[in-house]
Structure 1
Amino acid sequence: MKRKREMETKTEIRSAIEELSMLTKAHSAAVADVAHISTKPFLHVCTLILQVLDKIGPTMAVLRQDIHQNIQRLEILLESDPTMYSNLIEMLKKEESEGNARKGSSCSKAFLWLTRSMDFMAALLQRLVKEPEQNMEQAVQESYNVTLKPRHGWISSAAFKVALKLVPDNKTFISLIMKKDQNYENLKEDMQTLISLLVPLLEHIHSILRFYRLDRLKSS
């Protein structure tokens, strides 16, 4: 209950900053020669990022559903065997050794697409910080082009293109992700802090995904 009340007094971005800080500390504290990404904190960060994504509106409905399903898949796995699946890297190793990593319902693919979804959000936040006056539709489109589009097939790309027209304007989106007692400069600082924590983590994850040859997988 205490954690829930604390979450209600913070923006999703500030909550994500706290979770990422803890995840980074846990990663740094891990044995140097053992790759480790804690599953539960990672999924919590994804959930918070998902809540920010919700503020963009119906245009992100398909992506939101994919993120939610991938989070659920990994949560079920973690509950089934907390010892084995508390580390996402061990999960990759297990599925790779069993030959299941590239199968449609694999948890490795869920991890991959969650990472790519966070790539999109990181790119979008970077654009909003760098060019706050940029048209929101353009910012979403350009962020999509450099993150998700190269890995999406024509069905996913077409669905995104149709829904893009529903993106809110900049002022509406900014007002939705701010608390009432917050101003834009505070929000900008929070976004910059989130980016500084999120981007290095994503780069680290992508290096691991490349090692397991999962980085080039595409959707329909």
Structure 2
Amino acid sequence: FLGTAFIPIKNDISGNVAKVRTKYESGIDKCKYIEDLIEDDLAKNSGKMGSATEGLLWLKRGLEFMLEFLSEMVQVYRSSTDKTKTDNLTGSINKAYNNTLKRHHGFISKQLFKIVILAAPTRSTVLKALAEGGEGMDDICIDHVAAHLDNFRTNVTNIVNYYIIKKLDTPNPLLRN
């Protein structure tokens, strides 16, 4: 639902999912929890990040971005008296990017993001996709997204904190985990 400009990002996410899935499927009995997968990957790589742990690191970062983006979209929509002024998501996407992924990207990735965001979908396009094509369901969709944010945040925070504890990532001073 984010449009064709985001296909490279979707492909990157799919590649990271494949890395984690491959690791999981190679030792299902050892990987009941995501932490088990990380521990096994670290053990097999002499305490360093293996392919699955690195793939999960980037998935975690992507989830942090999505969480911040969705939270910002809900907050902007709910705080506005004129909902038409909330249709442009560029501000929400930029804020989420600046607070999450930007610190991990090099010069080229940052420049690419500036181009990709020009093709960002509108809020109404995103919500219509969530409503499976239904029209006039923005309030309902926003409520549904908002209803899942706390659980989403809890799960993302657990992964973030585990990576920090294991010294596989550093705390983000811009987020409230």
Report the TM-score when normalising by structure 2.
0.81
**Identity, % of aligned pairs?**
20
Q: Does 1:173 align with 2:107?
A: no
State which of 73, 77, 95 in structure 2 corresponds to 1:128.
Answer: 73
Shift of 1:121: 0.8
2:46 & 2:88 partners in 1: Cα distance?
A: 42
Residue identity opposite 1:127 in structure 2: E
Q: Does 1:85 align with 2:38?
A: no
Contact 2:69–2:93 under 8 Å retained in 1: yes
Residue identity opposite 1:153 in structure 2: G
State which of 58, 77, 84 in structure 2 corresponds to 1:113.
Answer: 58
Match of 2:115 in 1: 162
Residue segments in structure 2 that go unaligned for 5+ positions in a row: 78-85, 171-177
Q: Deviations over 1:123-166 (max 9, x none)?
A: 11111111121621121111111011111122222221111111
> How many residues are paired up?
162
Match of 1:185 in 2: 139
Shift of 1:204: 1.4
Q: Which moved more, 1:116-125 or 1:58-67?
A: 58-67
Indicate the RMSD between aligned Cα atoms, in angstroms.
2.1
Q: Does 1:202 align with 2:149?
A: no
Match of 2:174 in 1: none
Match of 1:94 in 2: 40
State which of 148, 164, 167 in structure 2 corresponds to 1:213.
Answer: 167
1:193 & 1:59 partners in 2: Cα distance?
A: 28
Match of 1:143 in 2: 96
Shift of 1:195: 0.7
Contact 1:128–1:134 under 8 Å retained in 2: no
Contact 1:101–1:108 under 8 Å retained in 2: no
Residue identity opposite 2:12 in structure 1: D
Secondary structure of residue in 2 paired with 1:135 = coil
Secondary structure of residue in 2 paired with 1:195 = helix
Residue identity opposite 1:168 in structure 2: P
Contact 1:101–1:107 under 8 Å retained in 2: no
Match of 1:43 in 2: none
Distance of aligned partners of 1:68 and 1:100 in 2 relative to their CA distance in 1, 3 Å threshold: farther
Report the TM-score when normalising by structure 1.
0.67
